[in-house]
């Protein structure tokens, strides 16, 4: 064996060290080069980090002190000014703290008292802020600015109420009315961790919901006459919206007028559930939500029509920049349409982007870029941080970001193809562009649709190709023309034509929805899967260079997590009138059994969707004896039912007479009646009427051990949740 001298060993070690150092330097050089590539995209990360601060605020179980975010922001800014070497990292924390602080300030600025208990036949005095018709002749829903509520101190009165009124013929925006109403606190989430109705209404300053018993007594009437409005401020716009809505119903038949009202003034509650479901199943629901599509068509049509008219007048076309003049009017039209449509988050974002686009036209710059999308997101999140949690914000920005990214990457190829193309080829390229736009937008919004709604349209791209030309070149231009001609009383003809266009769109929706496998259903995803999928895709869009491929494992893992079933085995509604049990069989998969189809129908329908099942798919428990096919899944009698789920014995007692017997058998006892105190019970967990009254809806997982989570557990103590709710001692937090 060859022996090396000490000098040789030193030489070899030195050589190995130099090779190792060379590799380290190569890696370091590569990392620095990758980081240098990100300099042009640093601005795009600001809304992402800002959103993380907003998310951190909403994730807290208790309301943080108002000064916490501001103190953190001031501290980070002070550190930033001192430590120059760590400024990039500190800047991230500054943006994060800014998002947290903005949300805290927003929450305290809109803070409204929330009704703590049900009130019947209560006299309410208030000013009508908004009115929206409901479907199938169910009257209207109105929002009232509260002046006084009987039996409540001023500091206990919500700022606004949302009330349903049956007879609304003489009710107008701007009226101060006195009425008799039944009031309820805003609804709790349907399941622990689900959509929070209280939080949603809280940020609209609505602290109670209910219905009106009598015809409201008008105290002062400041309603508009035609288009000459006596009142001012926000009620001016609401009055105009109501005038337009009433005019639509005068001209267009009701079934089509509901769609027209949604497109022109953003009022969608009157659309029948049948039409709404067909449009949703056909993948055309985005046409009803006022967003960039509608604002773009509205402003774009106005821009091209005005420019064409001015181009036909030589004295204008030769002396003035008619393109820029048309752009100014298009922006004004977009802003007007935003107010008419209700100033929703997608509409605000769309108008901001349209404004920047036309501003770029005015100053002769390229209008479309991801910076434009980022700037719009920052603006919306600063004004309304809570919009980050809304489905409309998420889907809207997902679609726009994906489209802008795709066309930004392929811009040169499109330019080359258009530059030397014939008219026929340009038409073909336009058709291909429409197809690609539809497909990309559908793919970008699919994760959000699956996560929030438990379904996605499988044929959305095909139905969009049929309906989009009708919508973009016929329905929306006629909507613009109708609004322009309405003050002159010449709107009947365009509104009538618009009605025929809407009928065609509905025909396409019903045809597409009737096709086999038109809709894909799925059970609720884990939140971690939702974050991983969307975070990975966003990282791949915003990160430049080879580093973007590091997100692929996270994307794959997120997709794998979507198959993880997180829905509970048992659900007990907060009203204690509805119970749901999940059983699994190798042959049929998941089967749902419900205690009732009449009680809490809205809750049951949403539960079914969360399990990835169609509406009305849950089987009603057979209290007269189980059917032949189901006798291995559960046993029922008139007084209750017994289940064996995930190896655990579950008893559902409908009568107090069997409580003692069921206590000796069950691992989990669910009783419709209160369980007597001191009852000796084998069951490890008991859920009765007092439990749901105290802690709301209960979700129960039975494997590997019994775990219970309640609404009180998931909501914590926030400004929009009831402060008197206490955690259930029998519950085990997930």
285 and 201 fall within a common domain:
no
Q: Please report whether residue 707 resides in a domain.
A: yes
Q: Is the domain of 663 the same as that of 708?
A: yes
- Domain assignment present for residue 475? The answer is yes
Return the residue matching tokens 């219970």.
708
Residue that has been written with the tokens 């049900």 in this structure = 118
Q: Count up the domains in the chain and report the number.
A: 5
In whole angstroms, give the CA distance from residue 507 to residue 284: 12
Kindly state the average pLDDT of the residues 100-122.
90
**540 and 645 housed in the same domain:** no
**Whole-number Å distance between alpha carbons of 683 and 30:** 62
Based on the domain organization, do 135 and 265 belong to the same domain?
Answer: no
Q: What is the CATH number of the domain that holds 166?
A: 2.40.50
d(CA 623, CA 618): 15
Indicate the pTM of the whole model: 0.81
Query: Going by C-beta distance under 8 Å and a sequence separation of 6 or more, which residues neighbour residue 294?
Result: 263, 337, 341, 347, 350, 476
Can you list the positions of beta strands (E) in 564-618?
Answer: 570-572, 579-585, 589-594
Q: Are 650 and 702 in contact (CB under 8 A)?
A: yes
Q: Which residue has the higher pLDDT, 318 or 59?
A: 59
**Domain final position from 52, 80, 109:** 109
Predicted local confidence at residue 367, as pLDDT? 63
Alpha-carbon gap, residue 425 to 432, rounded angstroms: 10
Tokens of 110: 């809109």
695 and 648 inside one domain: yes
Question: Is residue 723 pLDDT above 60, yes or no?
Answer: no
Instruction: Tell me if 727 is assigned to some domain.
Output: no
Q: Cα(607)–Cα(604) distance, rounded to whole angstroms?
A: 5
651 near 659, Cβ under 8 Å? no
Q: Is 706 helix (H, G, I), strand (E, B) or coil?
A: coil
**Final residue of a structural domain among 223, 257, 275:** 223
Quick one: pLDDT at residue 263?
87
Residue 721 belongs to a domain:
no
Q: Which of 217-226, 437-446, 712-721 has the lowest mean pLDDT?
A: 217-226
Has residue 649 been placed in a domain? Answer: yes
Q: Which residues are 640's β-sheet partners? A: 637, 653
How long is the chain? 734
- Any domain includes 234: no
Does 103 share its domain with 145? no
Cα dihedral sign, 366-367-373-376: positive
Shared-domain flag, residues 556 and 595:
no
Alpha carbons 131 and 146: distance in angstroms, whole number: 15
pLDDT band at 698 (very low <50, low <70, confident <90, very high): very high
On whether both 216 and 344 belong to a single domain, the answer is no
Does 447 lie in the same domain as 343? yes
Question: Do 201 and 257 lie in a common domain?
Answer: no
One domain for residues 333 and 473: yes
Question: pLDDT, tens digit, for every residue of 401-446?
Answer: 888 888 888 888 877 777 777 778 777 877 777 778 778 888 888 8
With respect to residue 509, please indicate whether it lies within any of the assigned structural domains: yes
pLDDT tens-digit profile of 164-211?
Answer: 988 766 778 888 889 999 999 998 888 888 888 899 999 989 999 999
Does the residue 390 lie in any domain?
Answer: yes
Same domain, yes or no: 511 and 533: no
Range of the domain at 607: 570-715
* Structure tokens belonging to residue 562: 């979507």
* Of the residues 51, 85, 109, the one at which a domain ends: 109
pLDDT level of residue 224 (50, 70, 90 thresholds):
very low
């Amino acid at each position: 064996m060859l022996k090396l001298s000490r000098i040789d060993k030193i030489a070899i070690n030195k050589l190995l060290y130099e090779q190792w150092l060379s590799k380290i330097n190569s890696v370091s050089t590569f990392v620095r080069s990758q980081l240098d590539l990100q300099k042009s995209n640093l601005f795009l990360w600001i809304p992402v980090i800002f959103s993380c601060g907003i998310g951190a605020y909403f994730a807290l179980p208790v309301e943080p002190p108002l000064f916490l975010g501001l103190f953190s922001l001031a501290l980070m800014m002070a550190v930033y000014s001192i430590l120059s070497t760590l400024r990039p990292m500190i800047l991230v924390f500054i943006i994060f703290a800014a998002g947290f602080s903005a949300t805290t300030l927003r929450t305290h600025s809109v803070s409204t008292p929330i009704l703590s208990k049900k009130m019947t036949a209560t006299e309410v005095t208030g000013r009508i802020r908004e009115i929206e018709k409901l479907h199938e002749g169910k009257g209207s829903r109105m929002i009232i600015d509260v002046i006084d509520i009987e039996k409540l101190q001023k500091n206990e009165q919500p700022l606004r109420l949302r009330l349903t009124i049956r007879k609304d013929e003489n009710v107008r925006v701007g009226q101060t009315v006195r009425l008799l109403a039944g009031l309820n606190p805003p609804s709790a989430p349907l399941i622990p961790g689900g959509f929070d109705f209280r939080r949603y209404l809280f940020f609209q300053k609505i602290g109670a919901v209910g219905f009106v018993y009598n015809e409201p007594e008008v105290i002062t009437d400041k309603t508009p006459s035609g288009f000459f409005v006596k009142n001012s401020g926000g009620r001016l716009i609401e009055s105009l919206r109501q005038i337009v809505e009433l005019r639509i119903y005068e001209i267009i038949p009701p079934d089509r007028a509901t769609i027209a009202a949604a497109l022109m003034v953003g009022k969608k509650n009157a659309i029948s559930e049948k039409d709404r479901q067909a449009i949703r199943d056909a993948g055309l629901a985005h046409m009803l939500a006022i967003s960039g599509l509608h604002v773009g068509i509205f402003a774009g049509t106005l821009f091209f029509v005005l420019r064409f008219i001015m181009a036909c007048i030589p004295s204008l076309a030769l002396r003035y920049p008619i393109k820029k003049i048309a752009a100014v009017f298009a922006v004004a039209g977009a802003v007007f349409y935003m107010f008419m449509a209700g100033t929703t988050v997608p509409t605000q974002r769309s108008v901001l982007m349209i404004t920047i686009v036309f501003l770029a036209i005015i100053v002769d710059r390229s209008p479309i870029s991801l910076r434009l999308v980022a700037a719009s997101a920052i603006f919306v999140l600063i004004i309304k941080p809570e919009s980050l949690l809304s489905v409309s914000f998420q889907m809207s920005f997902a679609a726009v970001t994906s489209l802008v990214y795709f066309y930004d990457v392929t811009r040169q190829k499109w330019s080359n193809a258009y530059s030397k193309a014939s008219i026929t080829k340009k038409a073909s390229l336009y058709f291909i562009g429409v197809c690609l736009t539809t497909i990309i937008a559908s793919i970008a919004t699919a994760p959000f649709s699956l996560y929030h709604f438990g379904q996605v349209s499988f044929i959305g791209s095909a139905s969009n190709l049929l309906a989009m030309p009708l919508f973009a070149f016929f329905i929306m231009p006629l909507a613009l023309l109708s609004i322009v001609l309405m003050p002159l009383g010449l709107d009947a003809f365009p509104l009538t034509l618009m009605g025929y266009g809407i009928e065609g769109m509905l025909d396409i929706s019903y045809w597409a929805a009737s096709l086999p496998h038109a809709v894909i259903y799925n059970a609720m995803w884990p939140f971690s899967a939702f974050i991983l999928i969307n975070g990975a895709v966003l990282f791949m869009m915003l990160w430049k260079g080879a580093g973007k491929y590091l997100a692929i494992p996270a994307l794959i893992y997120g997709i794998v997590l979507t198959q993880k079933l997180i829905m509970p085995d048992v659900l007990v509604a907060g009203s204690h009138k509805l119970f749901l049990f999940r059983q699994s069989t190798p042959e049929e998969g998941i089967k749902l059994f419900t205690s009732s189809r009449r009680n809490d129908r809205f809750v049951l329908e949403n539960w079914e969707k969360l399990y990835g099942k169609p509406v009305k798919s849950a089987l009603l428990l057979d209290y007269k004896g189980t059917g032949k096919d189901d006798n291995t899944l559960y046993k029922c009698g008139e007084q209750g039912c017994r289940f064996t789920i995930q190896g655990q014995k579950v008893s559902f007692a409908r009568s107090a007479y069997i409580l003692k017997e069921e206590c000796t058998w069950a691992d989990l006892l669910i009783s419709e009646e209160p369980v007597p105190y001191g009852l000796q019970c084998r069951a490890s967990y008991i859920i009765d009427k007092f439990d749901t009254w105290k802690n709301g809806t209960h979700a129960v997982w039975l494997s590997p051990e019994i775990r219970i989570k309640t609404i009180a557990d998931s909501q914590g103590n926030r400004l929009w949740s009831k402060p008197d709710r206490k955690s259930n001692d029998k519950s085990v937090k997930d």
